[in-house]
């Protein structure tokens, strides 16, 4: 666990850079993490992030297929929005733990 200041907030991160406490997340933290990933967030990105956070809080196990069937973005669009690992990157930006389905 490492401590880091992101968007002016001191947060604890896992060794892989995910927030330890998802309740510390806010849109400014999301924007800064996304910039680290080379992603400029749009409204569509935030729709995906809010969906992920809602499902995580409900206890739903997240998979790329479930997100693709959300009606927000299909799988191809998820890869365009979050290139190089859409579920892994979007989860990190959403401030939730890395899904077990991600390597």
Q: What is the pLDDT of residue 57?
A: 95
**Mean pLDDT, rounded, for 21-25:** 95
Short-list 38, 54, 65, CA closest to 96: 54
Check if 20 is active-site: no
Q: Residue holding tokens 């409900």?
A: 58
Catalytic residue among 13, 72, 75, 102: 102
Q: Where are the domains of the chain?
A: 2-94
Q: What is the pLDDT of residue 100?
A: 72
Whole-prediction pTM? 0.92
Q: What is the pLDDT of residue 81?
A: 97
Q: Check pLDDT > 90 for residue 102.
A: no
Q: Check pLDDT > 70 for residue 16.
A: yes
Q: What is the pLDDT of residue 31?
A: 97
Q: What is the pLDDT of residue 103?
A: 61
**Mean pLDDT, rounded, for 47-54:** 97
């Amino acid at each position: 666990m490492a401590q880091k200041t992101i968007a002016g907030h001191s947060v604890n991160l896992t060794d892989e850079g995910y927030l330890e406490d998802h309740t510390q997340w806010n849109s400014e933290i999301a924007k800064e993490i996304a910039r680290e990933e080379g992603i400029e967030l749009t409204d569509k990105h935030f729709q995906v992030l809010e969906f992920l956070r809602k499902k995580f809080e409900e206890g739903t196990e997240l998979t790329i297929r479930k997100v693709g069937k959300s009606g927000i973005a299909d799988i191809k669009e998820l890869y365009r929005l979050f290139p190089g690992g859409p579920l892994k990157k979007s989860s990190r930006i959403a401030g939730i733990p890395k899904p077990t389905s991600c390597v």
